[in-house]
């Protein structure tokens, strides 16, 4: 297994940091193995320390045996101040994107003579490239979601509510190995499908109308993300035309993705297919996002992306078309970038009509 702390240390040296304090939950887990967010890491060039309270001492010993445990028996800023002083640290980085202003002021107040250096996405940059162990967990999370959706597609009938379908999705995933959901499942029928992140409701699914299901499972801490769109029983010619356009856009993007491609370039492949079919302005979000310990992380494939795709990155490919008062179509796979292109992880069926 890759020594993730060792990979982080050269980055700290490049930034001129003597140490980095880490408070973001997924980053804590990624570096240490500690699965609770009730902890704080302090990484120097020689030491790796994990501060937490009595509730988690044994958990730290089991999950993060390579980290030195700092027992927190008084306010954390006081504890942190003592440790930093003992280590002689003068220039300390912190995760500006993960720390509240209130906590920052408390820490700074306890260490007023320290140089506090805001950093962004140092650990997240490492997290973008998945190792074999991470890929295995992600692939299992993908399989759980694939299998759950297959069962739900066989089970759905007109007249069921979005909430009933959502509950069935969750039940199947949890009873087939998921430790949780990547996010609250989205079940959007009819005009609700025009909202990319619709809130599941008591609306009843009607025969022949668009239905979007967006779901994901968590396995060993890692997420999956899957969307399929279809109609029950029958579909209009308009729906089939939109569905075919989205599928063609997704296929084009998946065929085009190669290492070295920018997120903007990947997004543009799908966007050209959708806009070229006459749906300009109907695809308002990016093509995809990274997935790992968080369901939304780097890299991004969008018209705003500043990322470059590299082997080992896992991301979604999810073009969509959304038409107010009518509905929407989104088809989402997860892929891993390989030296040759990308490998599609998601195997759920893609069909415009079920039942």
Looking up residue 9, the CATH number of its domain turns out to be 3.40.350.10
The confidence score (pLDDT) of residue 274 equals: 98
Q: Region 268-282: what's the mean pLDDT?
A: 97
- Full residue range of the structural domain in which residue 273 is found: 132-354
User: Same domain for 329 and 251?
Assistant: yes
User: Same domain for 262 and 324?
Assistant: yes
Where a domain ends, among 126, 143, 168? 126
Instruction: Provide the percentage of residues in the chain whose pLDDT is more than 70.
Output: 100
User: Same domain for 258 and 326?
Assistant: yes
Pick from 131, 170, 115: nearest CA to 292: 131
Burial of 325 (0-12, 13-18, 19+ CB in 10 A): exposed
Number of domains in the chain: 2
**pLDDT band for position 2 (cuts 50, 70, 90):** confident
Whether 217 shows a pLDDT value over 60: the answer reads yes
Q: Region 59-81: what's the mean pLDDT?
A: 95
User: Same domain for 217 and 325?
Assistant: yes
Alpha helices, H only, 68-118 = 76-87, 101-110
pLDDT mean across residues, the chain: 96
Whether 1 shows a pLDDT value over 60: the answer reads no
Q: Region 309-338: what's the mean pLDDT?
A: 98
Where a domain ends, among 78, 97, 126? 126
**pLDDT band for position 179 (cuts 50, 70, 90):** very high
User: Same domain for 36 and 118?
Assistant: yes
Q: Region 7-16: what's the mean pLDDT?
A: 97
User: Same domain for 196 and 341?
Assistant: yes
Residue 341, domain CATH: 3.90.230.10
With a CB cutoff of 8 Å and minimum separation 6, the contacts of 184 are 166, 200
Q: What are phi and psi of 230, to 5 degrees?
A: -165, 170
Whether 202 shows a pLDDT value over 80: the answer reads yes
User: Same domain for 55 and 122?
Assistant: yes
User: Same domain for 210 and 266?
Assistant: yes
> What is the pTM (predicted TM-score) of this model?
0.95
Q: 3-class DSSP state for residue 2?
A: coil
Q: Region 35-49: what's the mean pLDDT?
A: 96
Q: 3-class DSSP state for residue 86?
A: helix
User: Same domain for 195 and 259?
Assistant: yes
User: Same domain for 307 and 338?
Assistant: yes
User: Same domain for 214 and 181?
Assistant: yes
User: Same domain for 249 and 220?
Assistant: yes
Pick from 177, 182, 184, 220: nearest CA to 297: 182
Q: pLDDT tens across 138-157, in order?
A: 999 999 999 999 999 999 99
With a CB cutoff of 8 Å and minimum separation 6, the contacts of 144 are 173, 176, 177, 178, 217, 219, 224
């Amino acid at each position: 297994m890759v020594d993730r702390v060792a990979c982080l240390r050269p980055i700290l040296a490049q930034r001129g940091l003597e140490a980095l304090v880490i408070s973001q939950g997924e980053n804590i887990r990624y570096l240490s193995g500690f699965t609770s967010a009730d902890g704080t890491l302090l990484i120097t060039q020689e030491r790796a320390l994990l501060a937490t309270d009595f509730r988690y001492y044994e958990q730290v010993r089991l999950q993060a045996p390579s980290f030195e445990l700092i027992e927190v028996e008084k306010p954390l800023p006081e504890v942190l101040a003592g440790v930093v002083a003992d280590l002689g640290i003068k220039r300390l980085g912190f995760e500006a994107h993960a720390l509240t202003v209130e906590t920052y002021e408390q820490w700074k107040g306890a260490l007023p003579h320290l140089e506090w250096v805001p950093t962004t996405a140092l650990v997240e940059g490492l997290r973008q490239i998945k190792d074999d162990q991470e890929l295995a967990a992600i692939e299992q999370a993908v399989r759980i979601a694939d299998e759950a959706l297959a069962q739900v597609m066989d089970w759905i009938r007109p007249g069921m509510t979005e909430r009933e379908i959502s509950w069935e999705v969750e039940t199947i995933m949890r009873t087939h190995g998921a430790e949780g959901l990547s996010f609250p499942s989205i079940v959007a029928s009819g005009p609700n499908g025009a909202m990319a992140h619709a809130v599941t409701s008591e609306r009843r699914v009607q025969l022949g109308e668009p239905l979007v299901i967006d779901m994901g499972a968590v396995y060993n801490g890692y997420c999956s993300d899957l969307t399929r769109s279809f109609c029950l029983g029958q579909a209009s010619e308009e729906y089939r035309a939109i569905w075919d356009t989205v599928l063609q856009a997704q296929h084009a993007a998946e065929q085009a993705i190669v290492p070295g491609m920018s997120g903007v370039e990947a997004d543009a492949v799908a966007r050209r297919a959708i806009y070229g079919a006459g749906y300009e302005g109907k695809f308002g979000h990016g093509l995809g996002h990274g997935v790992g310990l968080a369901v939304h992380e780097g890299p991004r494939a969008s018209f705003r992306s500043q990322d470059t795709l590299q082997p080992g990155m896992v991301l979604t490919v999810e073009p969509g078309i959304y038409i107010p008062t009518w509905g929407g179509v989104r088809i989402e796979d997860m892929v891993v970038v390989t030296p040759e292109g990308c490998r599609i992880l998601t195997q759920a069926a893609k069909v415009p009509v079920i039942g």
